[in-house]
Structure 1
Amino acid sequence: MVRFAGFGLFACLLALFGLHAATPLQSASFDCARASHPLEKTICESPGLSKLDGEVAALYKTRLAQLFDKASLRGQQRDWQQILRTRCAKTCDPAAVEAEYRRQRDTLRAVQEETWEASYKTADVATLKITHIDANQFDFALLRDREGEQLCKFPADDSEAGAVATLASPGRASWSAGACRIDFLLARDKTGAVTRIDTIASVGCKRHCTGSYGLSDAFLPANNWAAGNQ
């Protein structure tokens, strides 16, 4: 005679009739069993908010891995979380929380472009715009102007296809076409965030500039995530 333990018989019945054991719905990015803050409790009480919290956390993780200026994104996310928790210090309006989460989700979905600047004591300002394609490639544009006067522009024309640089290593990326080559030296901190980008342009890139100006420069992050601008 074959004997089944209670659990074993239950498992066999599930397999026989194609049934599945019910599992708790858990989509939030944190453990709802340990929720203590009113905001956390409000999220855990709503399957929709739990799902949104998970989506925002996943998007943030993806963007953080992709972007060079990680410090700015961390600051924006931290600022957003602190403001939301302060608003929910005692009680939370689920509808208001959902609106804030949807806004943050949409913001993170759109985050692909970064702006870096090289400024001087004069009005001469160089701007490097980067649009990430994937973990190894980014589209870029370089512009230098002085009090409204255009000194350098790459690509040369708005109708010209954007340039795509490829990372050869964590510290170096490059792009080339014909006689023009641009190398990007990426200085990173211990967390992997890029803190400075040096561009080195070949002589063949001079056609994109006037006079003695060039595309070579040292760029620092232009922080678009100022705290408190939510």
Structure 2
Amino acid sequence: MHFINMPLTIIIGLILGLAQRIIGAALPIAETNKTDFIVTHKASDYFPHSKSDLSDFDIDVEFVGYPEATASWLISLDPHTGATDEDKARILTEVMYAKKYDEKDIDMSENVDSLLAHIAGHTDTKVPAKRPTFQTDSRNAVKWSECSPYFTCISGTSCNFFLKVRKAPRNRCESRGGQNCCLSWSNYHVHAGFFPFTFSVCDAKIRMQGITYASCVGMGDDEQGGDVCFSNRARHCT
């Protein structure tokens, strides 16, 4: 299906019709020969003195297709080894992005700053403005052309991958062309149809906007059961 010259409202309407048909469909497990492993970290274990809830920074992610050296490194990371809160925050951030911490990486440094702010109790209490249902962003972006073949499969858009959305983990990342391609969802109640729906709308928006690097999130309501996002980090959407 070609979206180039179609208004986005029409595209979303067409995709929504497709998603409604998919919601009730069974999603068989896709065949894969790639080694996978799961890494979990509970942020509060490393910052028991935190003045805020750190559950948004918990990590429970399945990694697939990473080089053996990268896999061994990710599994071995232990935030307890950090000498300071900042050191520990950097180690957690390395797991989120599946790469060494780079202070010049704005996304990684902002993640550390946000975690440290939560630890200190400096959380944003303002009511956020109403957001659009689907939103692309330059933050936590991936090269879309490298990750979209994986996203289209893992979301169930093309190969009907079975995500086991009712069970942990709620993040799945795969190494594609040097990209850390991650799909995550905000809770255990997201409906199956919202995954392909979100990918299809996000893909159409990115194509229409003519951008190369992007992340994208679908903010679901009670009907969809939660949010779904595509980005370069293993962390929940909201």
Output the TM-score relative to the length of structure 2. 0.21
Work out which of the two has the higher radius of gyration on C-alpha atoms and give 1 or 2: 1
Output the TM-score relative to the length of structure 1. 0.22
Structure in which a larger fraction of residues adopt strand:
1
